[in-house]
Amino acid sequence: MRFVKQLIGLGVCLGLWCTTALADVIPGEVIDKSNYQKIENLVPDFILAWVKSGDLKMKIGKLTFDQQNFWPKEVLQNNPANIGRYKIDPNNGIIDVKTGKPARGIKGLPFPAPNPNDPNLPMQLLWNRIFCEFYVQGDVYQLNTWLGFTRNGLEKTMLLEIMTHTFDPAKSPFDCTELQVFRQPFSMAGTGTLAVYPLYPLENGDRFTYAPELGKVRRMSHRLAGSDTVFGFDGTADDSWSGGPKTAKEEGVYRFIGERDALVPYLAETPLKGTWDEKKALGVGNRETGFEAKYGFETPGWTGAPWHLTNVVWIK
């Protein structure tokens, strides 16, 4: 079994942050409330506020590898052929340029060379991201630990089993399915949802939920847009779709407003090695990689917020 610590509610934000200060950072230095001015213009306002208040300290790092060399083999093989092959339509869906129809069975990234001059650039980037989560990885099994924090520290822990599967377009009208089942705590064990997603936004999918105390399966809308909390967490069904609703992509309106350097959190400056087991499942937990993310509440001497990761590096 693979245990992956997941910080709920932490997303990657694309945007333009305006300030008059000139900022720069040097690999190896630590940014805290005494020198927070160095990260102005490099992080969103809410991260700057965490550093200024003392909730967060940031270690600046530098990558030792080229990220482009670490795509899965299928992505590296298919990306060149995908350049110019697909486009975004008015519904924010992916269209095959040759056929004019919604695309299916895409191998690699749909937009491996996004064009900053294309008005649909934001949607191209967002589609690339969702492909990294579901389609590029292929079938995935995870056992995630969800942690709930307050200022007093760790409040609750939940163990969530997640399985995703991508369909062969010749055999199914759907493109991806995701099964999520709670294993801990005992009061929630067995509660789960099964969702099947189409790739094109206007096509209907299906979502079912099961609760042991009811002993019945209930059908739900697969379009769970919005920011309703999930079991008391600030983690929501649309968190993994950065910038808008994950299952109702046609409802979002996106505009490219600029390009700028930014600080982005990484687990490590060097590559971490996962392992494939006999069932072709990729293990990315600390047992395989040798790296374990540490939170504030479990880091000796940490004086910031208990929910922040303390051993990540921030890369410009």
For the ranges 26-30, 267-271, 279-283, the lowest mean pLDDT is seen at 279-283
| Residue 11, pLDDT score | 32
Query: Band of the pLDDT at 143, cuts 50, 70, 90?
Result: confident
Torsion over CA of 12, 15, 21 and 22, rounded to 10 degrees?
Answer: 70
For the ranges 7-11, 118-122, 189-193, 260-264, the lowest mean pLDDT is seen at 7-11
| Residue 156, pLDDT score | 86
For residue range 222-234, list pLDDT tens digits in order. Answer: 665 444 445 555 5
* Number of residues that make up the chain: 316
Q: Is the pLDDT of residue 53 over 90?
A: yes
| Residue 274, pLDDT score | 79
| Residue 234, pLDDT score | 54
Q: Is the pLDDT of residue 90 over 70?
A: yes
Q: Is the pLDDT of residue 245 over 70?
A: no
| Residue 7, pLDDT score | 31
For a pLDDT cut of 90, what percent of the chain falls above it?
A: 41
For the entire predicted model, the pTM comes to: 0.78
Tokens 């949607």 belong to which residue? 123
